[in-house]
Structure 1
Amino acid sequence: GQDLPQMLQYTPAMTWYSDSGIGSNYSYFSMRGIQQTRINMTFDGAPLNDPAEHAVYFNNFHDFTNAVDSIQIQRGVGTSSVGSPSYGGSVNFASSPPAQDQRGDLRLALGSFDTKRASLAYESGVFANGISVGGRFSYADTDGYRDNSGTRHQTAFFDAGWQGERSSLKLVSFFGDEESQLAWLAVEPEILRVNRRFNPLDDEERDNFGQNFAQLKYTRALHNDTLLTASLYYNGADGWFRLWDDPEAKNDLLQFGIDQAFVGGMVTASKSFDRLSTTLGAHFNDFSGDHTLDTEQGRIYENTGYKQTANAFGKVEYRLGPWLLFGDLQLRWAEFSYTGDIDLGSVDWTFLDPKIGARRLISPRLSVYASLGRAQREPARMDLLLGEDNATVPHDLEAVHPEEVLDFELGVDLNTPEIALQANVYAMEFTDEIALTGELSEIGLPLRTNVDDSYRRGLEIDLKWRATQHWSLLHSSNLSRNRIREWTQFYDVYDEQGTWVGSEPITYRDVPPLLTPEVIFNLGVEWVGSGTSAALMGRYVDDAQLDNTGLEAFRLPAYTNVDLRASVSLGRWWASANPRITLFINNLFDNDDQYPSGYSYQFINQGSTGQQTLDGIPFYYPLATRNAVLTLELDL
Structure 2
Amino acid sequence: MKNILVLGAATLALPLLVAPAAWAQGPLTGTVTDARSGDALPGATVLLDGAVVGTTDAAGTFVLPAVAAGPHALRISFLGYEVLQRQVQGQAEEQRLALGLQAGVVLTGEALVTASRANDRTATAYTNVSREDLAKRNFGQDLPYLLDQTPSVVVNSDAGAGVGYTDIRIRGTSNTGINMTINGVPLNDAESHGSFLVNLPDLASSINNLQVQRGVGTSQNGGAAFGASINISTLENRREAYAETQNTYGSFNTWKNNVSFGTGLLGGHFTVDGRLSRIATDGYMVRASSDLKSYYLAAGYQAKNTLLKFITFSGREKTYQAWNGVPEPFITGNKQLLQQFLDNGELSEADVARGLREGRRYSYYTYDNQTDNYQQNHYQLHLSQGLGADWNIGAALHLTRGFGYYESYRANRKLVDYGLEDVVIGTQTIKRTNLVDQKWLDNYFYGGTFALNYQPHDNDKLQATVGGAWNRFTNDHYGEVIWAQYASNGSIRHRYYFNDATKTDYNAYARATWQVLPWLSVYGDLQVRHIKYAIDGVEDDQNDVTTRADYTFYNPKFGYTISLGQGHQVYSSFAVGQREPVRSDFTDRPAGDQTAKSERLEDYEAGYRFTRPGVPLFGRPTAVRFEANYFYMNYHNQLVATGQLNDVGTALRTNVARSYRTGLELSGSVAAQDVLSLSSTLTLSRNRILNYRETVYNENFEPVTASEGRLSTISYSPAVVSAHTLEGQPLKGLRVALLYKTVSEQFLDNSASDAKRIAPYQVLDLRLRYTIRPVFVKEIELGLLVNNLLNREYVANGYTYGYPDATGRQQIFNFYFPQATRNYLASVGVKF
TM-score tier, shorter chain, comes to: over 0.9
2:728 alignment partner AA? W
Residue aligning to 2:559: 357
Residue aligning to 2:387: 222
| Aligned-partner SS, 1:590 | coil
Q: Specify which of 173, 176, 179 is matched with residue 312 of structure 2.
A: 173
Question: For 2:156 and 2:674, how far apart are their aligned partners in 1?
Answer: 35
Length, aligned pairs only: 619
- Residues 135, 439 of structure 1: CA spacing in aligned structure 2 closer, same or farther, 3 A cutoff? farther
Residue aligning to 1:113: 252
Correspondence list, 1:77-156, <5 A = 77-156=216-295
Residue aligning to 2:409: 244
Give the deviation of 1:538 after TM superposition.
1.3
1:492 alignment partner AA? Y
Correspondence list, 1:472-551, <5 A = 472-494=677-699, 501-506=701-706, 508-528=709-729, 530-551=732-753
2:378 alignment partner AA? F
**Match status 1:281 vs 2:445:** no
Residue aligning to 2:498: 302
- Residues 616, 343 of structure 1: CA spacing in aligned structure 2 closer, same or farther, 3 A cutoff? closer
| Aligned-partner SS, 1:251 | strand
Residue aligning to 1:566: 768
Residue aligning to 2:427: none
- Residues 447, 143 of structure 1: CA spacing in aligned structure 2 closer, same or farther, 3 A cutoff? farther
| Aligned-partner SS, 1:192 | helix
2:436 alignment partner AA? L
Q: Is the 8 A contact 1:438 1:514 kept in 2?
A: no
2:530 alignment partner AA? W
Residue aligning to 1:497: none
Give the deviation of 1:441 after TM superposition.
10
2:474 alignment partner AA? S
CA RMSD of aligned residues (A): 2.2
Q: Is the 8 A contact 1:344 1:396 kept in 2?
A: no
Give the deviation of 1:429 after TM superposition.
0.2
| Aligned-partner SS, 2:201 | coil
**Match status 1:602 vs 2:788:** no
Q: Is the 8 A contact 2:179 2:223 kept in 1?
A: yes
Question: For 2:412 and 2:269, how far apart are their aligned partners in 1?
Answer: 59
Q: Specify which of 575, 580, 596 is matched with residue 373 of structure 1.
A: 575
Question: For 2:737 and 2:782, how far apart are their aligned partners in 1?
Answer: 14
Measured against aligned partners, the alpha-carbon deviations of 1:79-122 in whole angstroms (never above 9, x if no partner) come to: 11211122211001111412111111011110100001100111
Q: Specify which of 676, 697, 718 is matched with residue 471 of structure 1.
A: 676
Q: Specify which of 623, 628, 631 is matched with residue 824 of structure 2.
A: 628
Q: Is the 8 A contact 1:401 1:450 kept in 2?
A: yes
Give the deviation of 1:261 after TM superposition.
1.4
1:93 alignment partner AA? I
- Residues 440, 361 of structure 1: CA spacing in aligned structure 2 closer, same or farther, 3 A cutoff? farther
Give the deviation of 1:449 after TM superposition.
2.9
Give the deviation of 1:206 after TM superposition.
0.8
Q: Specify which of 511, 527, 532 is matched with residue 335 of structure 1.
A: 532
Question: For 2:143 and 2:643, how far apart are their aligned partners in 1?
Answer: 24
Residue aligning to 1:618: 814
- Residues 39, 145 of structure 1: CA spacing in aligned structure 2 closer, same or farther, 3 A cutoff? same
Q: Is the 8 A contact 2:547 2:586 kept in 1?
A: no
Measured against aligned partners, the alpha-carbon deviations of 1:407-442 in whole angstroms (never above 9, x if no partner) come to: 000111111122122210100000011235589999
Question: For 2:190 and 2:641, how far apart are their aligned partners in 1?
Answer: 19
Q: Specify which of 260, 267, 271 is matched with residue 450 of structure 2.
A: 267
- Residues 447, 396 of structure 1: CA spacing in aligned structure 2 closer, same or farther, 3 A cutoff? closer
Q: Is the 8 A contact 1:184 1:444 kept in 2?
A: no
Residue aligning to 2:112: none
- Residues 107, 272 of structure 1: CA spacing in aligned structure 2 closer, same or farther, 3 A cutoff? closer
| Aligned-partner SS, 2:755 | helix
Residue aligning to 1:316: 512
1:367 alignment partner AA? Q
Give the deviation of 1:313 after TM superposition.
0.6
Give the deviation of 1:290 after TM superposition.
0.4
Question: For 1:222 and 1:246, how far apart are their aligned partners in 2?
Answer: 64
Give the deviation of 1:613 after TM superposition.
3.0
More deviation, 221-230/501-510: 501-510
- Residues 556, 444 of structure 1: CA spacing in aligned structure 2 closer, same or farther, 3 A cutoff? farther
Question: For 1:190 and 1:247, how far apart are their aligned partners in 2?
Answer: 26
- Residues 501, 318 of structure 1: CA spacing in aligned structure 2 closer, same or farther, 3 A cutoff? closer
**Match status 1:384 vs 2:548:** no
2:667 alignment partner AA? D
- Residues 102, 436 of structure 1: CA spacing in aligned structure 2 closer, same or farther, 3 A cutoff? farther
Larger radius of gyration between Structure 1 and Structure 2: 2
Give the deviation of 1:207 after TM superposition.
1.4
- Residues 420, 444 of structure 1: CA spacing in aligned structure 2 closer, same or farther, 3 A cutoff? farther
Residue aligning to 2:14: none
Question: For 1:444 and 1:461, how far apart are their aligned partners in 2?
Answer: 42
Q: Is the 8 A contact 1:119 1:137 kept in 2?
A: yes
- Residues 278, 165 of structure 1: CA spacing in aligned structure 2 closer, same or farther, 3 A cutoff? same
Give the deviation of 1:602 after TM superposition.
2.6
| Structure with higher helix content | 2
Give the deviation of 1:156 after TM superposition.
0.5
Question: For 2:674 and 2:529, how far apart are their aligned partners in 1?
Answer: 50
Question: For 1:440 and 1:245, how far apart are their aligned partners in 2?
Answer: 23
Correspondence list, 1:59-70, <5 A = 59-70=198-209
Question: For 1:187 and 1:40, how far apart are their aligned partners in 2?
Answer: 30
- Residues 56, 113 of structure 1: CA spacing in aligned structure 2 closer, same or farther, 3 A cutoff? same
Measured against aligned partners, the alpha-carbon deviations of 1:391-422 in whole angstroms (never above 9, x if no partner) come to: xx42333x110000000001111111221222
| Aligned-partner SS, 1:485 | strand
Question: For 1:312 and 1:442, how far apart are their aligned partners in 2?
Answer: 41
Residue aligning to 1:407: 603
Question: For 2:644 and 2:198, how far apart are their aligned partners in 1?
Answer: 23
Q: Is the 8 A contact 1:437 1:449 kept in 2?
A: yes
Residue aligning to 1:456: 661
2:365 alignment partner AA? L
Residue aligning to 1:197: 361
Question: For 2:193 and 2:678, how far apart are their aligned partners in 1?
Answer: 37
Residue aligning to 1:211: 376
| TM-score (normalised: structure 2) | 0.72
Q: Is the 8 A contact 2:391 2:452 kept in 1?
A: yes
1:569 alignment partner AA? T
